[in-house]
């Protein structure tokens, strides 16, 4: 088992293009860390640098206290699960899982025990002698996980492992992954562009945008106290309403919050904190999306648009006008550059 | 296309059967001719059914050869052809696999230059470079040897290019997974690349074996020793007997014998080839 330390890690390609700049954070032993961000933000690059598939051009990376910048991927005590599974098509499931172990020169009996164990754990026992093409997507993904598990590495790396699966299977495997983490007690580093996956899996989330780390924190921390408008708009579905402070909607909402800081750039409020009240701000309902337990209500305040999450206690109708109210403490304030202004 | 029209079915069958007859008739004539005594073929009409001389003709051909055409037993010539064809085929496959492996998976200075150099040799078949190649082989003392027959024909730009294109379709993740699994370059090549290339190797084996087997000009040039003559040269020498007694029965027999190994290769490899095609769905 091992912890990871990234110290000013950066990646600049030969052409001078910088993919990741000055990534510094620590991952504790047995922690489940999720790197999340839009595509091209550098999250996969960080994962690939941890894996050793991408050369680190700046800073250093430690795994278990050892600087591994120049260590081959196979010798880093890590295992990786790829997005498209990357199973060897000509080998059986057993062959796929044992290949790495055979390359280490592990005795056959030991290999067999490990495979039997992993197969039982992943419910792959009936498929051990099949080739990958005879398996479904979910089974292939399990084999890819099995290939990682049998190596008993101290760090597991996952590169968007669920993106190729359908929604139902994704939810199921997500739960299995969390369970797997609990049972193995290993360090997990997981890359995804799906914020729901990030929220539901992570102990801590590292959220990135254009090569830089925006914020690191627990899922709830990121949700309630986003460090920037980027985080506020990335986390949550629907995301936080972020309004230009000079706009009509923001000005009206701010009238409900007397102690707002000066030099405001943006005001944010989560959809669930908007309530229907007797007094407050008037808004037009433009669109209603009933989802069962909740209803997403699209609102317009003059030119500004917002979304509120309504409960079952109120019936919303498109075209009607409602009165909004909120608790001042639920407002989040950002300066003109988008950084959070901590509550006064 | 599933259509059920009797007339269409009949027509397609007739056309196909005509095509087969058209293609197979010469082979049939050759096969029949090789079972008759020589005189029977000099008369009109040419026989279209088997004669009685099959065993005698083929025994004569395989063990003693035809005196008028040098008297080399065909068994020897076929053996020479086989060595040459196999040498060329296996050599070409091995070399192209390795050079494609180097070009695709290793970053070294002037990599693209080397690739284009290999590619350019496509424009230089043996016939074009025959004099310099002859000179090189002669200086190496390889005239009248299997090495001399095989080595000048062993490099193949086509096969290198084909393997390169195939390797480029193998997903990067597979290479990376192998790296995580501690497979070094040689292991990766042997355990992963080679098994995945099986279909391509089978297809190339067919093409290259026939290419090697049918070589004519080069063996003709560098072998003066009758013991190294190849079967294709043998056919040619029989046709060129000149004003002597017609030996069409032997010539046809030789042609039939020369046809057998390539046909066997196609039959044997085709099964693997088709199996590979069906299986390689990803």
Contact A103 B187 (CB under 8 A): yes
Please report whether residue B30 resides in a domain. Answer: no
Contacts of B171 in chain A (CB under 8 A): 84, 86
Residue at A233 is within a domain: no
Last residue of a domain, one of A227, A259, A294: A227
Write down the pTM of the prediction: 0.80
Residue A147 lies in a domain: yes
Residue whose token pair is 């922690």: A31
pLDDT computed for residue B158 by the predictor = 87
Residue A59: give its domain's CATH number. 3.40.50.300
Domain contains B45: no
Taking any CB pair shorter than 8 Å as contact, residues of chain B touching chain A are: 171, 173-174, 176-183, 187, 191-192, 195-196, 198, 279, 281-282
3-state secondary structure of A122: helix
Q: Please report residues of B whose CB lies closer than 8 A to that of A104.
A: 182
Predicted confidence at residue A257, as pLDDT, reads 79
Q: Å from A131 to nearest chain B CA?
A: 11
Contacts of B166 in chain A (CB under 8 A): none
pLDDT of A98? 93
CB B245 within 8 A of CB B38: yes
- Clarify whether residues A211 and A245 are in a common domain: no
Do A120 and A265 lie in one domain? The reply is no
Residue B8 lies in a domain: no
pLDDT at A96: 93
Q: Based on the fold, state whether residues A219 and A272 are members of the same structural domain.
A: no
Using one digit for the tens of pLDDT, what is the confidence trace for A262-291? Answer: 788 899 999 999 888 888 888 889 999 988
User: What is the three-class DSSP state of B150?
Assistant: helix
Instruction: Assign residue B266 the CATH number of its domain.
Output: 1.10.3720.10
Task: Give alpha helix (H) positions in chain B.
Answer: 6-33, 38-42, 54-59, 74-105, 111-120, 130-139, 146-150, 157-169, 172-180, 185-187, 194-196, 198-213, 217-222, 231-239, 248-279
**Does residue B197 lie in a domain region?**
yes
**Chain B neighbors of A80, CB-CB under 8 A:** 176-177, 180
pLDDT at position A155 is 92
The answer as to whether B94 is a domain residue is: yes
B148: in domain: yes
Count: domains in chain B: 1
A98 and A196 in one domain? yes
CA distance A83 to chain B (A): 9
Question: In total, how many domains does chain A have?
Answer: 2
Q: How many CA atoms lie within 13 A of B96 on its CB side?
A: 29
DSSP run (H or E) holding A47: helix A43-51
Residue B88's nearest CA partner among B161, B148, B140 is B148
Q: List all residues of chain A from 256 to 275 with a beta carbon under 8 Å from chain B.
A: none
Sheet holding A58-63, edge to edge: A18-27, A4-12, A58-63, A66-67
Classify A244 as helix, strand or coil: strand
Under DSSP, the state recorded for B62 is I
B-chain residues near A75 (CB < 8 A): 182
Q: Do the domain assignments include residue B165?
A: yes
Nearest CA in chain B to A79: B180
Same domain for A216 and A121, yes or no, is yes
Closest residue, chain B, to A83 (C-alpha): B173
- A220 and A249 part of one domain: no
The answer to whether residue A232 is domain-embedded is no
* Residues A248 and A270 occupy one common structural domain: yes
Across the interface, which of B181, B192, B282 has its CB nearest the CB of A74? B181
User: Are A124 and A59 contained in the same domain?
Assistant: yes
Verify that A243 and A186 share a domain, yes or no.
no
User: Taking CB atoms and an 8 Å cut-off, how many pairs form between chains A and B?
Assistant: 60
pLDDT one digit per residue (tens) for chain A, 344 residues: 688 899 889 998 888 888 888 889 999 999 999 999 998 888 999 999 999 998 999 999 999 888 998 888 888 889 999 988 899 999 999 999 999 999 988 999 999 999 999 999 888 889 999 999 899 888 999 999 999 999 889 899 999 988 888 888 888 889 989 998 998 889 999 999 998 899 999 999 999 998 889 999 999 999 999 999 999 999 988 899 998 888 888 888 888 877 778 788 899 999 999 888 888 888 889 999 988 888 899 999 888 899 999 887 788 888 888 888 888 888 888 988 888 887 54
The whole domain housing A71 covers: 4-227
Domain hosting B202: range is: 74-280
Q: Are residues A270 and A168 in the same domain?
A: no
Mean pLDDT per 10-residue segment, chain B (282 residues): 78 94 90 80 75 77 73 84 92 93 90 88 82 90 87 86 91 91 90 89 89 88 83 80 70 86 88 67 43
Looking up residue A278, the CATH number of its domain turns out to be 2.40.50.140
């Amino acid at each position: 088992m091992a912890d990871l330390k990234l110290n000013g890690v950066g990646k600049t390609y030969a052409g001078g293009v910088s993919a990741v700049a000055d990534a510094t954070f620590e991952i504790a032993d047995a922690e489940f860390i999720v790197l999340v961000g839009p595509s091209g933000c550098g999250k996969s690059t960080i994962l690939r640098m941890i894996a050793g598939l991408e050369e680190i051009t700046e800073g250093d990376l430690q795994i278990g206290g050892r600087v591994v910048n120049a260590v081959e991927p196979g010798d880093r005590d890590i295992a990786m699960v790829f997005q498209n599974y990357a199973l060897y098509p000509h080998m059986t499931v057993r062959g796929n899982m044992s290949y790495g172990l055979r390359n280490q020169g592990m005795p056959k009996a030991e290999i067999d025990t490990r495979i039997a164990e992993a197969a039982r754990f992943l419910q792959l026992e009936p498929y051990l002698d099949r080739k990958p093409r005879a398996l479904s997507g979910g089974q292939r993904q399990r084999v890819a996980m099995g290939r990682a598990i049998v190596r008993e590495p101290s760090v597991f790396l996952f590169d968007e492992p669920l993106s190729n699966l359908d929604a139902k299977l994704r939810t199921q495997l997500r739960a299995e992954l969390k369970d797997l983490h609990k049972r193995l007690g290993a360090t997990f580093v997981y890359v995804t562009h799906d914020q729901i996956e990030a929220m539901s899996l992570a102990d801590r989330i590292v959220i990135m945008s254009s090569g830089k780390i925006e914020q690191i924190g627990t899922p709830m921390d990121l949700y309630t106290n986003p460090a920037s408008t980027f985080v506020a708009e990335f986390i949550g579905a629907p995301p936080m309403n972020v309004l230009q402070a000079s706009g009509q909607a923001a000005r009206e909402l701010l009238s409900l919050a007397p102690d707002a800081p000066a030099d405001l750039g943006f005001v944010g409020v989560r959809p669930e904190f908007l309530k229907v009240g007797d007094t407050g701000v008037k808004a037009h309902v433009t669109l209603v999306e009933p989802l069962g337990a909740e209803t997403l209500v699209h609102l317009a305040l003059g030119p500004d648009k917002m979304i509120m999450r309504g409960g079952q206690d109120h019936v919303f109708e498109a075209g009607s006008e409602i009165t909004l109210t909120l608790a001042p403490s639920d407002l989040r304030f950002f300066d003109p550059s988008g950084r959070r202004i901590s509550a006064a | 296309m599933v259509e059920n029209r009797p007339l269409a079915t009949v027509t397609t069958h007739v056309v196909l059967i005509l095509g087969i007859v058209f293609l197979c008739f010469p082979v049939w004539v050759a096969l029949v001719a090789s079972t008759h005594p020589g005189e029977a073929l000099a008369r009109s009409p040419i026989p279209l059914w088997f004669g009685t001389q099959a065993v005698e003709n083929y025994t004569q051909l395989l063990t003693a050869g035809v005196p008028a055409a040098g008297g080399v037993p065909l068994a020897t010539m076929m053996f020479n052809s086989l060595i040459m064809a196999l040498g060329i085929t296996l050599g070409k496959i091995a070399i192209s696999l390795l050079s494609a492996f180097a070009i695709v998976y290793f970053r070294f200075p002037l990599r693209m230059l080397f690739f284009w150099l290999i590619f350019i040799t496509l424009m230089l078949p043996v016939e074009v470079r025959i004099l310099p190649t002859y000179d090189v082989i002669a200086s190496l003392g390889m005239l009248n040897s299997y090495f001399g027959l095989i080595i000048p024909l062993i490099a193949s730009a086509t096969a290198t290019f084909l393997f390169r294109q195939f390797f480029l379709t193998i997903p990067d993740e597979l290479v990376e997974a192998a790296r995580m699994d501690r497979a070094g370059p040689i292991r990766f090549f042997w355990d992963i690349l080679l098994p995945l290339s099986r279909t391509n190797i089978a297809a190339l084996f067919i093409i290259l074996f026939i290419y090697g087997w049918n070589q004519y000009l080069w063996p003709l040039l560098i072998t003066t020793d009758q013991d190294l003559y190849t079967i294709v040269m043998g056919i040619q020498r029989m046709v060129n007997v000149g004003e002597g007694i017609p030996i069409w029965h032997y010539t046809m027999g030789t042609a039939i014998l020369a046809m057998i190994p390539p046909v066997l290769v196609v039959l044997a490899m085709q099964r693997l080839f088709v199996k590979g095609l069906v299986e390689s769905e990803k």
